[in-house]
Structure 1
Amino acid sequence: MADENHPDDFPEEQRAGNCLFFCRLSRANILLQLLKGLMISSSSMISFIISESGVSIVSEHEACIESTTEMKRALFEELTLPERVVKFSVQGSDLTSALSLVQLAAVEISQVEEHEPLLVKLIEDGMTVDVLIQVFEVDAQLNFEFDSNKENPRFVLNAKSLREAIDNWDVIGASTKVVMNPAEPHLSFISKGLVGKVRIDFGEEILAEELEFKCSRYVARRYRTEFIKSVLDPSKASTHVAFRMDKNGLLHIKHLVTVSTNDLTTTEVFLNFIVNSEVLLEGEGDGDENKEPFEETVVAD
């Protein structure tokens, strides 16, 4: 609790007590790592949804990709949450630029009242850097409402295997078909263009041992190649990647990222991406998409 008569004795508590929202992390690059993973573009807006239950970060891209993460309390050295839900957006590049100034410094982020600028305070070895960032009202969010039915096909693999497979994946076609199948290969990325065809297959041998493959029906949907490559890019920092597809063709990709909160402890955080399949490009279809999102296929014994 802050001492009103001697505020300098406990400066962090005093600052937190005056704020609608206040958090402190041991290093700025903890948040920077998460933001860079979520942002599809440097021009992306970042929305914070803060309540008594915690802090959520949401970003969107061209009304086709929704990326989210829940910041666990273990990530923070100190966290003061409002009694009501508070939402605001910032330009993603403004926040990442501020955090990049001194990445290994402790960082405090606060807002005194709604609609006031966000204060980012970097503290290291007696040096303090204050950055004020303009906030905006949160626009209507996409909220794709991914159907979390347990029967949805699921494929989980080690991120290292995914990185090696897509490392030299050049963009051949503007769209890519994602296929999940009970038969081998279980997961495929297929892209056609004027100069040829790229196909990347994943089979039983590279499934993550912790979670079994689930798929009772053939599933095939087409997405923009640039979107698929963007949401796979966080595999550079993640340990595992999960793929799910719902009956409406929404593709859910979840990256498990291990974050070092200090020299001794780590915390696991999920980066979630939902990609809309309804953006089809003229001339990109190859004629074998399903007429229905889930179509039975005959699997040879």
Structure 2
Amino acid sequence: MPLSTQAETGEEQNVLVATLDNVRNLSNILKAIHFRDHATCFATTNGLKVTVENAKCLQANAFIQAGIFQEFVVQEESVMFRINLSVLLDCLTIFGTSSFPGTQAALRMCYRGYGYPLTLFLEEASVVTVCKINTQEPEEILDFDFCSTNVVNKIILQSEGLRDAFSELDMTSEVLQITMSPDKPYFRLSTFGNAGSAHLDYPKDSDLIEAFHCNQTQTNRYKIALLKPSIKALALSCKVSIRTDNRGFLSLQYMIRNEDGQICFVEYYCCPDEDITEGEL
């Protein structure tokens, strides 16, 4: 539904204007990266990128393409600001997370630039709420230098396969060990918890695996505490791409279909906990 709120006075001064007929198409994606209070927002004509980081070891990015919005206007080459993500989500869900049948909350989001708040107009059933959230100086974003030319192994699988794995693995383990190989075991997830070692193997011709591109055997360990936030994205996704580069850095890219059937992506980068030598396998 079109937001009935008239354009804000001085609207031409806004450097960012975005409207959505269904605010949940934004809030659900942001929930998938909400594991810290603050996020950095980066807008270009291509869309909105929201980044959350933790301990210089983990980075999550939500990509909401411009085409997801009914209107998406960026007046500068790029617009960047830091915001309290917890507060933003509270505002976006101010009408609740589930609407009555046939109703949904619409959003108009405006930002006038450095030093100004992010202004949200939310409307549901002719009730309009205006929220203004203070923005902050953006901090420098970590560059994990994860580029496709350095990717050694890549597997794309249906998310249900990974969801089942996470429910079966021993989460008392401090680390999740991931083995990707052109030979057996192909794709193995291992934990080392209170109940001992546990392994889950996926053959490369498994019905759950849609693409298998492994060039060499790699075994790396990642802190489960760092990976747990990505389970939120996994729960929303239909497919996940798992990639490792030549340093053992991990990329988990989740393909998420919103309520209108449009595709968004959430990506998590995680640095390895330790290298595993041949003798430890």
- TM-score scaled by length of structure 1: 0.82
Equivalent pairs: percent with the same residue? 19
- Aligned residue for 2:141? 141
- Aligned residue for 2:237? 238
1:10 to 1:234, Cα distance in 2 relative to 1, 3 A: closer
Alignment of 1:47-86 (within 5 A): 47-86=40-79
State the shift of 1:268 in Å.
Answer: 0.9
Alignment of 1:1-301 (within 5 A): 11-12=6-7, 16-39=11-34, 41=35, 43-102=36-95, 103=97, 104-149=104-149, 152-206=152-206, 211-261=210-260, 266-277=261-272, 279-280=273-274, 289-290=276-277
Q: How well do the aligned residues superpose, as a CA RMSD in angstroms?
A: 2.4
Does the 8 A contact of 1:177 with 1:220 survive in 2? yes
Counterpart Cα distance in 2 of 1:29 and 1:10: 19
List per-residue Cα deviations over 1:91-127 (Å, max 9, x = no partner): 1111111111124310111112322111111112221
1:151 to 1:133, Cα distance in 2 relative to 1, 3 A: closer
Counterpart Cα distance in 2 of 1:163 and 1:15: 48
Counterpart Cα distance in 2 of 1:225 and 1:152: 22
Counterpart Cα distance in 2 of 1:155 and 1:137: 37
Counterpart Cα distance in 2 of 1:16 and 1:168: 52
Counterpart Cα distance in 2 of 1:160 and 1:10: 41
- Structure 2: tracts of 5 or more residues without a match: 98-103
Counterpart Cα distance in 2 of 1:222 and 1:248: 12
How many residues align structurally? 269
State the shift of 1:207 in Å.
Answer: 5.1
Moved more, 67-76 or 249-258: 67-76
- Report the 3-state secondary structure (helix = DSSP H, G, I; strand = E; otherwise coil) of the residue aligned with 1:98: helix
Counterpart Cα distance in 2 of 1:144 and 1:193: 29
- TM-score scaled by length of structure 2: 0.87
The amino acid that maps onto 1:117 is: P
- Report the 3-state secondary structure (helix = DSSP H, G, I; strand = E; otherwise coil) of the residue aligned with 2:238: strand
**Looking at CA atoms only, which structure, 1 or 2, has the larger radius of gyration?**
1
1:114 to 1:197, Cα distance in 2 relative to 1, 3 A: same
State the shift of 1:30 in Å.
Answer: 1.0
Does the 8 A contact of 1:157 with 1:206 survive in 2? no
